[in-house]
């Protein structure tokens, strides 16, 4: 599980292939619990941000269907 996280992160977070960033990155994500915490926070934020958008889209769809 830990090795999978370490392999996935560089491609997701750092588009820049500088060795400094990679070393910095591996040091941070070597601690699995920290990466797990960050992904959980990211997931929660994504849900909070996308929820209102879905509500707005649904609202507009409902109104357009009523008009049509």
Select from 57, 16, 12 the least CA-distant residue to 35: 12
How many distinct structural domains can be found in the chain? 1
**Residues 6+ away with beta carbon under 8 Å from 35:** 5, 9, 28, 29
Residue range of the domain that includes 27? 2-67
Q: Are 28 and 34 in contact (CB under 8 A)?
A: yes
**4-28 pLDDT per residue, tens:** 444 444 444 444 555 555 555 556 5
Please indicate, yes or no, whether the overall pTM of this predicted structure exceeds 0.75. no
pLDDT given at position 50: 80
């Amino acid at each position: 599980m830990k090795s999978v996280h370490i392999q996935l992160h560089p491609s997701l977070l750092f588009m820049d292939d500088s060795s400094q960033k990679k070393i910095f990155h591996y040091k941070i994500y070597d601690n699995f619990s920290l990466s797990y915490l960050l992904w959980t926070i990211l997931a929660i934020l994504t849900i909070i941000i996308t929820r209102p958008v879905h509500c707005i889209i649904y609202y507009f769809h409902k109104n357009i269907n009523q008009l049509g």
